[in-house]
Structure 1
Amino acid sequence: MMNKLLSVFVTCPKGLEYVLEKELDELLQKEAKVRPAGIAFEATLPEIYRFILWSRTANRVLLALAESEVHTAEQLYDLVYSVDWQEHMAVDNTLVVDFSGESKNINNTAFGAVKVKDAIVDQFRDRVGDRPNVTRDLPDIRINVKLAKGRAVVALDLSGESLHRRGYRIEAGKAPIKENLGAALLQRCNWSALGQDGASLLDPMCGSGTLLVEGAMILCDKAPALDRAQFGFLKWKQHQDGVWKALIDEAIERFELGLEKCIQQQAAGRSLLLGYDADSSVVYVARNNIKRAGLEAVINVAVQSLAELKAPSVEVELGDAETGDVKPKGLLLTNPPYGERLGDVESLKGLYRCLGDKLKSDFEGWKAAIFTGNVDLGRRVGLRSYKQYKLFNGSLPSQLIMIDVRPENYVKTDDSKESQVLLSRRHIRVANPERAAMFGNRLKKNLRTLGKWAKKNKLACYRIYDADMPEFSLAVDIYGDWVHVQEYAAPASIDEKAAKDRLDEALSVLPDVLGVSPEQVVIKQRRRQKGDSQYEKHDQKAQRMVVDEFGCKFYVNLIDYIDTGLFLDHRPVRKWIQAHSAGKRFLNLFCYTGAATIHAVKGGAAETVSVDMSNTYLDWGKENLALNGFSERGHDFVQADCLRWLDTARDKFDMIFLDPPTFSNSKRMEGVLDVQRDHVDMINKAMALLTKGGVLVFSTNLRRFKLDVDALSAFELVDVSKSTIDKDFERNSRIHQCWHVKYKTLTLG
């Protein structure tokens, strides 16, 4: 058995087959046949053990026991029964069956698994008069049967649980990548060679620390499966325990030596392993994971936002001047968030742009790699990549974008460059009329309910459709007689052609259903354009129009800007401000086009101050004020960075509206605004301007936002989010969060 060649199939995440093949060559010097989501090869049992212990990319290692043509349930039963199961397990062992595939007569996996189980237990009954039990909870033996193209392979799963489970990550952050995917990203970045040369590894958005732990395991020569207690072969009758224990002893010795070497390198200012995250709760999780992995001596993680990122001081020889072999100072590898909805994507543009700015200002001479499910967001970084790998994060198509951080690779980004066009100027091709009709029916249904609601509430502007159907990822807003269509960032699981087809199908029925002409439908596409049409300047523009909202009039512009001048989701917030502003001094921070200010003035506010950095928006706000017949006397519009303005302001206000952007690194600002990091400071400074008995209305569109209740414990905090979401945004209830912040009232005992 020791020298006998055994046939195995090793599974891995889709897209990593060639990484796994290279790993096999490095570990065992074996050739493999590459298959979808895995590789097949032959090896001896000691070699298979070594591969299980050291593979960083594998999921499962399946030992083939039998293979044959299978079309019926009876043929499947016979194939499984033909294996001598007593050579592999005892009757008192527990088992589980993993079955995949189907045929004409075996049309679901549960039925296939039952037939496999029946064959095994029947054989034991026939031979020993007893049967093994089935359990999914830590079974002794795991049987894997795959049926494809009329052939079935019966295999023993030697891994047990998937090998991506190393044992250190009991806790996880938000949307973590699996451990073996993290290791594969590092392998694609050539981290092993970089780290040995003294380069550092940095993850500025480290989450639960997976990339850092996997990077440290590579650098410290730690076998990825060293800490696992369970394997599928431990109760297998042909298991060679002495061989396995010798491999474990060797791996422990290698890790001890590798860890000591890494500690020494770091003491010399080389091979630093650093991670940061703005969320203190996930940094806590990361520290626990690092400690469980036994790597706390070489990995440092801390709470820090991307806006505060600086390159570490590292001692790296930059290469040989004669050969021109320049070595990078380090590798910045990160997996930033990438939203699937428009609101998420819009809020993340600044994050990616800030990452690019930090790379350009602080990380020249480094390698950078960004793993994202949204390639368009990846382009916001503003650096030209030299290589992209198409991979999968679970089922989600993603890309690893590889960058040399050098001035010749810097490119400019422009958020305003989005395709905006009237439907009348767009060529429509309907690929699937039935699917288009489905969208039309949903739009009609929404029009019956939301249209009636809007009419009852005298609303000229409202959202009629918000990605109700996964196939049609759009937001459709009514602005009087006009329709404003925004295409959400298509999920990465849908290719660009499919997304375009579905947009065309929706647009083909939209004018008839909503009773408007194509000349009154404005489309804003979030997809990157190709060729000469990219960022085309459209001659025809929607004429600036006036809309009404609760007795207030506003100018809106549906084409010339990314946003229209009126955030529809904040309609109930503005209504509340109007109802409670009589006789009060009102402050509107980050005022945009001043809509909340107009409502305050309409409600009888005695004085208002509106602050924004953009003169364009401030002028728009003044025009809105005049449109409603109000004088500017007593109503000031101030061009300033709100954060700096708060530092010097001394006047008191009875009501303050604070609705900062999620993330901003505008060149006109001093520093970078990050609403999660900065909200406590902003609220404290704004509260210093609030009169006793006044109210601060704080709102944010960051979906993952967490209000720091402890840091703001001096104030009364009332979450009013639910009351600020109108009927047309109920499907998107996390579009914003809103609080009323007041001074606590003292009670005498």
Structure 2
Amino acid sequence: MSDRYELVLTCPKSLEGLLAEEAAGLGLAEVRAQVAAVQGLGDLETAYRLCLWSRLANRVLLVLGRFPVGNPEELYQGVQAVDWQEHLLPTGSLAVEFSGHGSGIDNTHFGALKVKDAIVDQLRRDSGQRPSVDKLSPDLRVHLRLDRGEAVLSLDLSGHSLHQRGYRLQQGAAPLKENLAAAILIRAGWPRIAAAGGALADPMCGVGTFLVEAGMMAADIAPNLRREQWGFSRWLGHVPALWTRLHGEAEARAAAGLSREPLWIRGYEADPRLIQPARNNLERAGLDAWVRIYQGELATFAPHPDKGQQGLVVCNPPYGERLGDPASLLYLYQHLGERLRSQCEGWEAAVFTGAPELGKRMGIRSHKQYALWNGALPCKLLLFKVVPEQFVTGRNEPAPSQARMIGGQLVERPPAVRTEPARLSEGGQMFANRLQKNLKQLGKWARREGIECYRLYDADMPEYALAVDLYRDWVHVQEYAPPRSIDPEKAQARLLDALAAIPQALDIDPSRVVIKRRERQAGKKQYERQDQQGRFMEVSEGGVKLLVNLTDYLDTGLFLDHRPLRLRIQKEAAGKRFLNLYCYTATATVHAAKGGARSTTSVDLSKTYLDWARRNLALNGFSEKHRLAQGDVMEWLEADRGEYELIFIDPPTFSNSKRMEGVFDVQRDHVRLLDLAMARLAKGGVLYFSNNFRKFQLDPALEQRYAVGEISAQSVDADFARNPKIHRAWRLQALQG
């Protein structure tokens, strides 16, 4: 074996350039970057040093040979050309990892099997004994990569991936791999800042990965110093004395680094469940005396280093997967920008994000951006200099300082900082102006009518295809799915413009804005839970109290456009038996009960909504004489023999729930539905029928059997006057004869 080897270091995609610089600094010669890897030349000491000190590599591979492969037999012969007695005892164990395809080898399992057979057959031929296969902890891990007819055969010196430093046993919801976190810190200039004695803060630290990696860099701790098992530990070419010397040198450097005065490194995390796991990670990394973690919300983030030094703010905000996340994420980024502008002037900042368009909403211009990958997710690293010249919003102006008495002395408190709200785009300002105009007009009407919940905006401007509803001091936003002809990026930008405008235009806390995507909901999808917050809010309407939930379902539990019909039912219900079909959360039933209905019956297929209905009734003190029935409405009507003086039907446009037989289509099935319901209508009774299918046409044959009058115009309130087609409604009675 020669004293100089070809070495290949693998890494996450997009880190090749950084890894090449790092590897050259650690002694690798003739370094060349490849896709997700770098290669070069080095002796065994260089290979060991790379294993111990590389913060960016996944694996260190020592190349045993390269050879052409035209078929499986040539692969077998090429592997056998290596003298495996120099690497593995016949009684030892091995594992083979195979990547690539071609040359008649299209299955990685088959390729690995050919490599294993070649090694085992050679050792058994020469010694009469054969090694075993151990995929978890082998004496030797062999790697073969097949690419365009060339095989690269290597020994894996690292064992398991080098990003697994060993300190992070507990992880948050979306942890960064340690080598990606290290790369972000290097790109952000942390080694330079740390060398100058600067500080570091992470306002959303999770389990502390940035903090540990930053601490190890600052204290000169080799990232894999604490690892005990290596891929070379039982390799026959291993030189223990050389490794012991290098490891001892690294231990001495770490001890010297930790003996210095610690840098100011702090993390803040809102979720109390992550605080202790983060502190445990710091302790395992040996940095518990260097780094501090506190529980704290982003809204209170304000790093104040002990000696007043400046430094780096680094964070990886959540990417967002829950319903309503576009709004919460936008405001989180706006909040982050506000805290940087007001509390971190003069600092540098690095924001690693899977939603780079939100970085533009922070109110600070990034001076540099890097494209990185977090696994398979394309991301951006946004770098900022937190100086007024880079602020998109106005400069911050300190408020007058305040003083108070502490221990008999007058002590100045740091002045509060007034921060201008984020400047809206031209389109965002237009949207804000429209909201304010509508609020001025509809607000007077709502206050006069005693209405707490109403529609403020409904795609008034086609570019901003949203419905904006007010629920007291909350805003519920529904985004209509844009047509395919609209560029998705442009639609997303407009949505973010609108979301930025809403809190400013309505003077409402951003945390009280919830957004959902509105698309056609087929079948049981309309009943599916979207989130698990379980947060119900009590609102009032026409003297009744109703529960709404803005976060957990596509709809809120209250159809605002049916307000006039509910109030009409309340006025007409006195002394009558009321039937509510497809009752949803039974808001119309509560109105009927409030109006003095003799009894009510409410039917729906969903147990979830019937439970909600029961709570609505109980909230108003109604329990007896108010029946809730679960079942398919058509089947229920066929079996029911009751009579009702007042009936309300508001069916879905379409339903194919597993709990019902067949499929309900309101256009196709409304005649049968109304015939069944009219058979239950008492003499002189009234049936109200409504639906929101835009193309709906009432079958003319119904007018031959019943007295039918369309009341759509009378069933739309002022807040839906801009969209009179929100629903159509009819009043039906038996013909007089």
TM-score by length of 2: 0.59
How far did residue 5 of structure 1 move?
1.1
Q: CA deviation at 1:346?
A: 3.1
In structure 2, the partner of 1:334 is 315
| Residue 260 of structure 1, CA deviation | 1.5
Can you list the C-alpha shifts for 1:585-605, whole angstroms capped at 9, x where unaligned?
A: 458799999957787897679
Gaps of 5+ in 1: 318-328, 421-474, 478-482, 488-502, 509-522, 537-560, 608-624, 629-653, 658-689, 695-725, 731-749
Aligned to 1:399: 380
Distance 1:111 1:476, change over 3 A: farther
Distance in 2 (CA, whole Å) between partners of 1:232 and 1:148 is 24
- The code of the aligned residue for 2:65 comes to A
The equivalent residue for 1:226 is 225
Contact 1:20 / 1:57 at 8 angstroms: preserved in 2? yes
Deviation at 1:416, TM superposition (A): 7.7
Q: Which moved more, 1:348-357 or 1:3-12?
A: 3-12
Look up the match of 1:8: 7
CA distance in 2, matches of 1:229, 1:692: 68
Return the offset for 1:128.
1.0
User: Does the 8 A contact of 2:99 with 2:144 survive in 1?
Assistant: yes
Which residue of the partner structure matches residue 98 of structure 1?
A: 97
**Is 1:345 matched with 2:326?**
yes
Distance 1:104 1:29, change over 3 A: closer
Percent of aligned positions with the same letter in both sequences? 40
Name 1:173's counterpart in structure 2: 172
Select the residue among 305, 318, 323 that pairs with 1:313: 305
2:456 is matched with none
Matches within 5 A, 1:73-152: 73-152=72-151
CA distance in 2, matches of 1:347, 1:567: 24
The answer (yes or no) to whether the contact 1:578–1:602 under 8 Å persists in 2 is no
- 1:164 is paired with a residue whose SS is coil
Is 1:302 equivalent to 2:297 in the alignment? no
The answer to whether the 8 Å contact 2:208/2:282 transfers is: yes
How far off is 1:210 after superposition?
0.5
Which residue identity is paired with 1:359?
L
Change in 2 beyond 3 A, CA 1:419/1:406: closer
- 2:506 aligns to what? none
Alignment of 1:374 onto 2:351 = no
Query: Counterpart in 1 of 2:250?
Result: 251
* Residues 203 and 332 in structure 1, CA contact (< 8 A), matched pair in contact too: yes
The residue number in structure 2 matching 1:164 is: 163
Whichever residue aligns with residue 293 of structure 2, its letter is: V
Compared CA separation, residues 290 and 606, structure 1 to 2 (3 A): farther
- Could you tell me which residue of structure 2 aligns to residue 360 of structure 1? 341
Question: Counterpart of 1:185?
Answer: 184
Q: CA deviation at 1:344?
A: 2.7
- Give the deviation of 1:52 after TM superposition: 1.0
Structure 2: distance between partners of 1:185 and 1:243: 32
Q: 1:67, 1:151 within 8 Å by CA — same for their partners in 2?
A: yes
TM, length-normalised to structure 1: 0.58
Instruction: Tell me, in whole angstroms, the C-alpha distance in 2 between the residues paired with 1:593 and 1:282.
Output: 32
Cα deviation for residue 563 of structure 1 reads 7.7
Structure 1 SS opposite 2:253: helix
The aligned residue for residue 66 of structure 2 is 67
Question: Counterparts of 1:408 and 1:131 in 2: how far apart (Å)?
Answer: 70
User: 2-side partners of 1:273 and 1:579: how far apart?
Assistant: 47
Q: CA deviation at 1:410?
A: 1.2
* Pair 580,410 (structure 1): closer, same or farther in 2 beyond 3 Å: closer
Displacement of 1:87:
0.4
1 CA distance for matches of 2:322 and 2:427? 16
Conservation of the 8 A alpha-carbon contact between 1:566 and 1:593: no
Q: Distance in 2 between matches of 1:594 and 1:417?
A: 35
Matched, 1:486 2:481: yes
The alignment partner of 2:88 has SS state of: coil
Report matched runs for 1:411-426 at 5 Å: 411-412=392-393, 413=422
Q: What pairs up with 1:618-637 in 2 under 5 angstroms? A: none
Residue deviations 1:604-632, cap 9 Å, x none? 7999xxxxxxxxxxxxxxxxx9xx9xxxx
Distance 1:486 1:504, change over 3 A: closer
**SS of the residue aligned with 2:152?**
strand
Look up the SS of the partner of 1:32 in the other structure.
Answer: strand
Taking the aligned partners of 1:254 and 1:38, their CA distance within structure 2 comes to 28
Q: Does the aligned pair in 1 maintain the 2:480–2:519 contact within 8 Å? A: no
Structure 1 residue 14: Cα displacement:
0.7
How far apart are the structure 2 equivalents of 1:309 and 1:476? Answer: 33
SS at match of 2:168: coil
* Counterpart secondary structure, 1:105: coil
Report what 1:195 is aligned to: 194
Deviation, structure 1 residue 143: 0.3
Distance 1:129 1:581, change over 3 A: farther
Code of the aligned partner of 1:298: W
Structure 2 runs not aligned, ≥5 long:
394-421, 430-464, 468-477, 499-513, 571-587, 592-612, 624-653, 659-737
2:27 matches 1:28? yes
Within 1, Cα distance between the matches of 2:40 and 2:528?
64
Closer/same/farther in 2, CA of residues 289 and 583 from structure 1, 3 Å limit: same
Pairwise CA distance, 1:62: 0.6
Question: Aligned equivalents of 1:571 and 1:580: distance in 2?
Answer: 24
Amino acid at match of 2:296: Q
Alpha-carbon offset, residue 347 of structure 1: 2.5
Partners of 2:518 and 2:102 in 1: CA distance: 57
| 1:63 match: secondary structure | strand
SS at match of 1:28: coil
Deviation per residue, 1:233-254 (Å, 9 max, x gap): 0100010101111111111111
The question of whether the paired residues in 1 share the 8 Å contact of 2:549 and 2:556 is answered with: no
**CA distance 1:535–1:185, change in 2 (3 Å):** closer
Q: Distance in 1 between matches of 2:566 and 2:528?
A: 14
The code of the aligned residue for 1:409 comes to Q
Deviates more, 1:343-352 or 1:363-372: 343-352
**TM-aligned CA deviation for residue 345 of structure 1:** 2.8
Indicate if the aligned counterparts of 2:266 and 2:292 stay in contact, CA closer than 8 A: yes
Per-residue CA deviations over 1:323-363 (Å, capped at 9, x if unaligned) read: xxxxxx11001011113677433331111111011111111
2:284 to 280, 292, 296: 292
1:8 aligned partner, one-letter code:
L
Looking at structure 1, the residues matched to 365 and 358 of structure 2 have their Cα atoms a distance apart, in angstroms, of 13
Give the Cα separation in 2 of the matches to 1:194 and 1:93: 48
Partners of 2:489 and 2:27 in 1: how far apart?
A: 54
- Distance in 1 (CA, whole Å) between partners of 2:481 and 2:544 is 37
Aligned to 1:684: none
Structure 1 counterpart SS, 2:117: helix
Letter in 2 for 1:272: W
The 1:606/1:216 distance shift into structure 2, 3 A limit, reads: farther
CA distance in 1, matches of 2:103, 2:372: 32
| Cα offset, 1:402, TM superposition | 0.4
Output one character per residue of 1:360-413: Cα deviation in whole Å (capped at 9) or x when no partner.
111100000000111112222121011111111111111110000011111155
Supply the RMSD in Å over aligned alpha carbons.
4.5
Which residue number in structure 2 is paired with residue 715 of structure 1? none
Runs (4 or more) in structure 1 with deviation over 4 Å come to 412-420, 561-574, 576-607, 654-657, 690-694, 726-730
The yes-or-no answer on 1:273 pairing with 2:265 is yes
- Distance across 1 between alignment mates of 2:516 and 2:489: 10
Aligned partners of 2:339, 2:520: CA distance in 1, in Å? 31
User: Contact (CA 8 Å) 2:28, 2:46: kept in 1 or not?
Assistant: no
DSSP-derived class of the 2:26 partner: helix
Closer/same/farther in 2, CA of residues 53 and 589 from structure 1, 3 Å limit: closer
Asked if structure 2 preserves the Cα contact closer than 8 Å seen for 1:579 and 1:603, the reply is no
